[in-house]
Amino acid sequence: MKIIADESIPQVKEAFGSFGKIELCSGREITGEILHDADVLLVRSITTVNETLLKKSSIKFVGTVTIGTDHIDQKYLSSQNISFADAAGCNAFSVAEWVLCAVTKIYNSTNSNFKGKSIGIIGYGNVGTKVARFFEAIGFKTIINDPPLDRKLGKQKFNSLEESLKCDIVTLHVPLNLEGIDLTYHLLDEKILNLLKRDSILINSSRGPVVDNNALSKIMAQKNNLRIVFDVWENEPSPNIELIKNANISTAHIAGYSLEGKLNGTHYIYKKFCDFLKAKQEWVPNYPIVENEMIEIDSNESFEKILLKITSHIYDITSDSELLKKSVELTEIQVPKYFDKLRKEYRIRREFNNYTIKLSRPNDALKNLLTKLRLKVI
């Protein structure tokens, strides 16, 4: 069996090596010629898998280590009896933690507190539910918008898009749908963007085209009363440089790039591939020891300050933002290579559940709250 895999999929050789010969390629350089005698294709979001890529191949199984599938033509795969597996949910906690780190950073930088604040969560799937869990734990009112679930479950829990836009924070966790009743391409167009509350925070860690980037850049240039936190961009890896420059936090599509999120992706498609072959599952991910896993906290500080110390220790989101903002110094030709480099060479980042909080004095309420964020507390 011949397996073609994106070279940036972690531990892919260890997971799939027993099934045959593995060839690793850059995701943007996987071509039909490379695939002509291959049986299996394993990709990330940067490889578009469709008839053009596969028509001269003998591929029988396609797996993507991502939660999004807009880069995969599933109708074509089905028509050719090619089995398909995604990794839905693999990095949901990673993205939710990225959102919490960003909000904590911005609120502390403006000496704001969480009390009485609201968050509009657009999309209530694997990621949105975890974002809601975190922000409900720290006292935010959650306003949830998810039309497909609304139709399925009723209106007990769900609100309109317009209601969610009235919140102090609006965060997007939807798939990219280019057609149909649940179209999400430019879901936030110029008209909708103008409905955002003054001084609110708009967060996008779903897919770049869910927000009209050019319209947003224009609005920011005119009124500068929005705070923007973006991890995904239209036209990646050639994003809107002005938007990167003016956003409060700009990162290079790495919100889901915790080590756990990445290895979960490999593990998810490995298990589905074993099911496809009716083979025994034997491989499990190898996780290194977490360094500096103990965080000492002064229980007397405000919760906002406590959370800033914890999140900054675990993940310095500002550093990631500063790296992408260096794009403004590059030429138009250099930007795409730099964007891909930031993703390919991304450092190891671990999730909250690997860390232990040592409180300066017992505080059951604080312990309970931090536990809800998946932190261990002593």
pLDDT at 175 over 90: yes
When pLDDT is averaged across residues 170-187 and rounded to a whole number, the result is 97
Phi, psi of 294 (to 5 degrees): -95, 130
pLDDT at 221 over 90: no
d(CA 92, CA 95): 5
Provide DSSP, 154-187.
-TTSB--HHHHTTSSEEEE------SSTT--TTS
pLDDT at 155 over 80: no
**Structure pTM?**
0.95
Distance of CA 76 to the CA centre of its chain: 26
User: How does pLDDT run across 251-265, given as a tens digit for each residue?
Assistant: 999 999 999 999 999
User: How does pLDDT run across 222-242, given as a tens digit for each residue?
Assistant: 877 899 999 999 999 999 999
| Residue 189 pLDDT level (bands cut at 50, 70, 90) | very high
- Whole-number mean pLDDT of the chain? 97
* Domains of the chain and CATH, by start: 2-86+258-277 (3.40.50.720), 92-250 (3.40.50.720), 294-315+348-377 (no CATH)
How far does the chain reach from its first CA to its final CA, in angstroms?
A: 50
pLDDT at 210 over 80: yes
Among the residue ranges 103-112, 150-159, 276-285, 306-315, the one predicted with the least confidence is 150-159
* Measured CA angle at 369 (ends 363, 375), to 5 deg: 100
Which pLDDT score, from 0 to 100, does residue 106 have? 98
Which pLDDT score, from 0 to 100, does residue 225 have? 87
Per the annotation, the verdict on 313 as an active-site residue is: no
Per the annotation, the verdict on 267 as an active-site residue is: no
When pLDDT is averaged across residues 22-33 and rounded to a whole number, the result is 96
d(CA 375, CA 362): 16
Per the annotation, the verdict on 253 as an active-site residue is: yes
Please compute, for residue 193, the number of CA atoms within 13 A of its CA located in the half-sphere on the CB side. Answer: 26
Which pLDDT score, from 0 to 100, does residue 241 have? 97
When pLDDT is averaged across residues 358-368 and rounded to a whole number, the result is 97
| Residue 179 pLDDT level (bands cut at 50, 70, 90) | very high
Residue 309 in 3-state DSSP?
helix
Q: Report the percent of the chain where pLDDT is more than 90.
A: 97
The catalytic residue among 71, 207, 227, 350 is 207
d(CA 168, CA 183): 25
Angle, helices 92-109/303-314, rounded to nearest 10 degrees: 130
d(CA 371, CA 364): 10
User: How does pLDDT run across 3-21, given as a tens digit for each residue?
Assistant: 999 999 999 999 999 999 9
Provide DSSP, 96-136.
HHHHHHHHHHHHHHTT---TT-EEEEE--SHHHHHHHHHHH
pLDDT at 43 over 80: yes
pLDDT at 96 over 90: yes
The catalytic residue among 97, 234, 236, 260 is 236
Which pLDDT score, from 0 to 100, does residue 224 have? 76
Residue 56 in 3-state DSSP?
coil
d(CA 22, CA 273): 14
The catalytic residue among 71, 173, 227, 253 is 253
